């Protein structure tokens, strides 16, 4: 490719190790792309140019002395702005955290720095990761590089837009109900949610603690594997961190799908899916079958209730987690005549309408007299979903569906209809409730030229088989199309 900003992570890493290019050159190319695209896309909230420059110089010095810190050494990486970064503003796209400079790095950030990654800055998101379009950011909406009048998805919309536009080579987001996979699908890139606990949540500002998981957004399945290798693994600072050995993610990337059983989830296909999206999924299934896979039709009856369960569990956990933003310890403070009034004034001004809505929903679901009827019942449904997935994985090696029921929708089209917005995650939420890994791979464009995502789901710690199938989907789809705004023609 003529522009270094368009390289895959794997290609860039090869060039860095061979000496054909330097980390400084790579960073300069990505910064040039950001200068051309940011006015249109607003993918970033903060660009740490000085810090990135120091990291790039350090990565080059490491290469010269023969140090190999891993696959992200010298690679420009963006972080969603709910991942704390020492001395670099972290806001969660909320007014209540404006100006907050964390005194520490989260575990994922620490591992990226130790691995020689060049951290570019912090990307835009729906406030506190609550949304599916990045329109809930207190600092303005991010836009889709395929059509700036459309959303990039959410809540990791800024991360997805940056990777798709070439203003980051790889980015990290968080996935609570699809917030990595859905924007990846809408922006035509790869995005994956690891098994719950595989990546430490220490330093991820919590939305819903039993659902949140950090994961990569990248230009290829191989790039996503490399990114996960760096940040994954046990962390004693996170009590939910998986203490076992990290799987070998690369073992099956070149193995194809011959002999594998691929389950098509009836409840996540057909009804409610845009015809162009379903057609692309069906075409991919035909290709997989021709490549030697066995296609199995499966029903997960409890998935029908996943959306309802999620919108009780997630707001309930959000209500508990966001209680810490009280105007006393950090962030925004608006005084009142007493402590109660100060907290009320601070939260009224600091939280946006969607965050307020979810706090109220969650507080109600946890209140006396309603806990068992709402939150308790939702947790019982979650157990049924987990059991349905476990039963399905006895009949299939992976499960598949569309990632998003639609392609990118116009900015403003769903802001007045929260239920319509919530439906954007109907295909992704089940894997968060089950805690299993899932990935979105681009497989085509609709008639408007907007990308379509294909979701591959696997059992807990089933990343190797998930990546194996995803890599074959990627080869068969031969997507290879760049977003229109990922070019020097942006004005």
1 within 8 A of 480, measured Cβ to Cβ = no
Pair of tokens at residue 199: 């990546």
Of 179, 424, 431, 440, catalytic: 179
Strand ranges of the sheet holding 261-265, from the earlier edge strand across to the other edge? 44-47, 118-123, 76-80, 170-174, 214-218, 190-193, 438-445, 451-457, 398-402, 261-265, 294-298
Can 80 be counted among the known catalytic residues? yes
Q: Which helix (H) or strand (E) holds 38?
A: helix 23-41
Question: Residues for the chain: how many in total?
Answer: 491
Q: What are phi and psi of 371, to 5 degrees?
A: -55, -55
- Closest CA relative to residue 308, chosen from 375, 210, 230: 375
Can 122 be counted among the known catalytic residues? no
Cα 455 to Cα 175: distance, rounded to the nearest angstrom: 14
Hey, what's the torsion of the CAs at 250, 169, 173, 47, to 10 degrees? 150
Cα 162 to Cα 86: distance, rounded to the nearest angstrom: 22
Can 179 be counted among the known catalytic residues? yes
3-state SS record for 267-282: HHCCCCCCHHHHHHHH
469 within 8 A of 398, measured Cβ to Cβ = yes
Pair of tokens at residue 39: 């006015």
Of 93, 137, 155, 401, catalytic: 155
Of 80, 95, 122, 193, catalytic: 80
Residue with tokens 């040039």: 32
Q: At what angle do helices 221-231 and 107-114 cross, to 10 degrees?
A: 110
122 within 8 A of 82, measured Cβ to Cβ = no
| Catalytic residue positions, numbered | 80, 155, 179
């Amino acid at each position: 490719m003529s522009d270094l900003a368009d390289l895959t992570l794997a290609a860039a890493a090869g060039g860095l190790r061979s000496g054909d290019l330097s980390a400084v050159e790579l960073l300069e190319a990505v910064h040039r792309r950001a200068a051309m695209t940011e006015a249109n896309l607003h993918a970033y909230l903060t660009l740490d140019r000085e810090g990135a420059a120091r990291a790039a110089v350090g990565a080059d010095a490491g290469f010269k002395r023969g140090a190999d810190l891993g696959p992200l050494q010298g690679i420009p990486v963006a972080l969603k702005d709910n991942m704390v970064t020492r001395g670099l503003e972290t806001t969660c796209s909320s007014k209540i955290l404006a100006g907050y400079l964390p005194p520490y790095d989260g575990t994922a950030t620490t591992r990226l720095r130790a691995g020689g990654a060049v951290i570019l800055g912090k990307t835009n998101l729906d406030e506190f990761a609550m949304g599916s379009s990045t329109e809930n950011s207190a600092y303005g909406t991010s836009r889709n590089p395929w059509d700036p009048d459309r959303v990039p998805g959410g809540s990791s919309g800024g991360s997805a837009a940056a990777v798709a536009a070439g203003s980051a080579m790889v980015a990290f987001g968080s996935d609570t109900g699809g917030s990595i996979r859905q924007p990846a699908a809408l922006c035509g890139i790869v995005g994956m949610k690891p098994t719950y606990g595989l990546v430490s949540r220490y330093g991820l500002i919590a939305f819903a603690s039993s659902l949140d998981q950090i994961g990569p957004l990248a230009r290829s399945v191989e790039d996503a594997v490399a990114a996960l290798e760096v940040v994954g693994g046990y962390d004693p600072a996170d009590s939910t961190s998986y203490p076992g050995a990290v799987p070998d993610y690369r073992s099956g990337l070149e193995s194809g799908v011959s002999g594998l059983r691929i389950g098509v989830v009836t409840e996540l296909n057909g009804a409610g899916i845009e015809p162009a999206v379903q057609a692309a999924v069906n075409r991919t299934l035909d290709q997989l079958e021709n490549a030697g896979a066995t296609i199995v039709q499966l029903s997960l009856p409890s998935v029908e209730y996943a959306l309802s369960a999620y919108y009780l569990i997630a707001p309930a956990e959000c209500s508990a987690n966001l209680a810490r933003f009280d105007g006393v310890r950090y962030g925004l403070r608006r005084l009142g005549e007493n402590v109660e009034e100060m907290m009320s004034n601070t939260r009224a001004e600091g939280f946006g309408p969607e965050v307020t809505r979810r706090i109220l929903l969650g507080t109600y679901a946890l209140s006396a007299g309603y806990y068992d009827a709402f939150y308790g019942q939702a947790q019982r449904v979650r157990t049924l979903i987990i059991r349905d997935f476990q039963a399905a994985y006895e009949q299939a090696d992976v499960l598949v569906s569309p990632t998003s029921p639609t392609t990118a929708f116009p900015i403003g089209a769903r802001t007045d209809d929260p239920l319509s917005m919530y439906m954007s995650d109907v295909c992704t939420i089940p894997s968060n409730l089950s805690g299993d890994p899932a990935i979105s791979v681009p497989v085509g464009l609709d008639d408007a030229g907007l990308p379509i995502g294909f979701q591959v789901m696997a059992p807990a710690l089933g990343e190797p088989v998930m990546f194996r199938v995803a890599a074959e989907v990627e080869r068969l789809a031969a997507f290879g199309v760049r977003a229109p705004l990922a070019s020097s023609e942006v004005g």
